[in-house]
Amino acid sequence: MKRESSHNLRMCLCYAIVIFLYLCTAQTLRSQPNISNNEEMQSKAVDSVKSIRMAEMTWPDIKSAIEQGYTAVVVAVGSTEQHGPHLPTMTDTRIGDELAHRVAMKLGHTLQATTITVGCSSHHLSFPGTISLRDETLRMIILDYIDSLIRGGFNRIVFLPLHGGNFPIVQATLKEAQIAHQGIEIIGVTDVTKLLDCLNAGSAEFGIKANESGAHAGESETSIMMALEKNLVIKDRFAPGYVGLTGEKVLKIMREQGMQALTKNGVLGDPRKASADKGEIYLDRLTEFLIQEIKKQSHEVLSTSSRVTPVRMLLFPLLQCGGQGKVFTPVPQKGL
């Protein structure tokens, strides 16, 4: 009789713990704003948040913004590297910073963290002015960014790499961070092929071929920089670089021998048809592309969270109450 009472008591305690923590998890998931409602969120933006660029804000302003619901943050990952004889070395960083700002504005209730200005650019080091990080260095920077932003009060962190050499390490690092921070939404647009396809599609509308649009300092990237920093674009140096097909063989050469093995002037593409008007159109298209990718990933994260909650992962051993092998599995509530 005593044994049965003790067993029942343990069962009740287990159920109580599970229900309490499960409800806490449900409340956490409900508290995360849905990106799909960005227009409604934007319309309710508080006038007191005068800038979303954290670098321009004081810490009390950032704290106030977070308290008002600005719990999401966007981080661009750029580079400092050669961009042919006509574009500045800050090109990837400048474009990344602009896109991060536009994306944050469109998402609503989102701040923009300081852009990471140096990336993995070892394949450009034969051109003076390039500064490159080791993969492990960039990994640690991203992890430190994430830890700092979470500690500051953010629960959704979006990374936007805009330099090809950064994509693999950003993708791997975000997967690592997602495992370490189960209650935080950490996502990134890390498919470089889709990004280039978006740019090439924009150029194609103006009759510009993909090999002219280019993957580095070609027509599309030059057009964007003309829209953003026309005084830093040297038009009389426009010249084609490598305009052949970009397949696995070419990428292997670039990785192993560096950009100089493909192009003497550091250009992949042909900038001669670039214009500021086209650059503004490309920026709009890229912003929309990034928003759609973020929404898609956000929905996937929320869907996964509703199927496998942190409570279930944490308490699986506890749920085998009384050693009977009977597992109590909470049923996820709809809409979580």
Q: How much is the pLDDT for 5?
A: 56
pLDDT one digit per residue (tens) for the chain, 336 residues: 555 555 565 665 555 554 555 555 445 444 455 544 544 444 444 457 889 999 999 999 999 999 999 999 999 999 999 999 999 999 999 999 999 999 999 999 999 999 999 999 999 999 999 999 999 999 999 999 999 999 999 999 999 999 999 999 999 999 999 999 999 999 999 999 999 999 999 999 999 999 999 999 999 999 999 999 999 999 999 999 999 987 788 888 998 999 999 999 999 999 999 999 999 999 999 999 999 999 999 876 555 554 444 443 343 333 333 333 333 333 333 333
Confirm whether 275 is domain-assigned.
yes
Confirm whether 79 is domain-assigned.
yes
Confirm whether 29 is domain-assigned.
no
Confirm whether 40 is domain-assigned.
no
Confirm whether 245 is domain-assigned.
yes
53 contacts 102 by C-beta, under 8 angstroms:
no
Quote the pTM value: 0.78
Q: Which H or E element spans position 322?
A: none
3-state class (DSSP) for residue 156: strand
Confirm whether 137 is domain-assigned.
yes
Residue 84 dihedral angles phi and psi, to the nearest 5°? 75, 180
Q: Which domain holds residue 188?
A: 49-323
Q: How much is the pLDDT for 251?
A: 82
134 contacts 49 by C-beta, under 8 angstroms:
no
Q: How far apart are CA 99 and CA 264, in angstroms?
A: 29
**CATH code for the domain in which residue 182 is found:** 3.40.50.10310
User: Which residues share a beta bridge with 131?
Assistant: 80
Which residues, 6 or more positions from 20, have their beta carbon under 8 angstroms from its beta carbon? none
Confirm whether 64 is domain-assigned.
yes
Confirm whether 21 is domain-assigned.
no
Q: How much is the pLDDT for 23?
A: 52
Q: How much is the pLDDT for 328?
A: 32
- Structural domain count, the chain: 1
| Single-letter code of the amino acid located at 309 | T
* Helix runs in the chain, H state only: 2-31, 38-43, 59-67, 91-107, 135-152, 167-180, 192-204, 210-213, 219-228, 248-257, 276-307, 310-319
Cβ atoms < 10 Å from Cβ of 235: 12
Q: Estimate to the nearest angstrom the gap between the alpha carbon of 289 and the chain centroid.
A: 12
Q: How much is the pLDDT for 257?
A: 95
